[in-house]
Amino acid sequence: NAGVTQTPKFRILKIGQSMTLQCAQDMNHNYMYWYRQDPGMGLKLIYYSVGAGITDKGEVPNGYNVSRSTTEDFPLRLELAAPSQTSVYFCASSYLPPRWLNEQFFGPGTRLTVL
Phi, psi (rounded to 5 degrees) for 85? -90, 5
Q: Kindly state the smallest distance separating residue 43's Cβ from other proteins, in Å.
A: 4
Question: In Å, what is the CA distance from 13 to each residue of 46, 47, 75, 84?
Answer: 19, 21, 17, 12
Say whether residue 45 binds other proteins (CB under 8 A): yes
Radius of gyration of the chain from Cα atoms? 13
Say whether residue 74 binds other proteins (CB under 8 A): no
Say whether residue 26 binds other proteins (CB under 8 A): no
Q: Kindly state the smallest distance separating residue 28's Cβ from other proteins, in Å.
A: 18
Nearer to other proteins, 17 or 67 (CB): 67
Residue 23 and residue 95: Cα distance in Å, rounded? Answer: 16
Nearer to other proteins, 19 or 60 (CB): 60
Say whether residue 2 binds other proteins (CB under 8 A): no
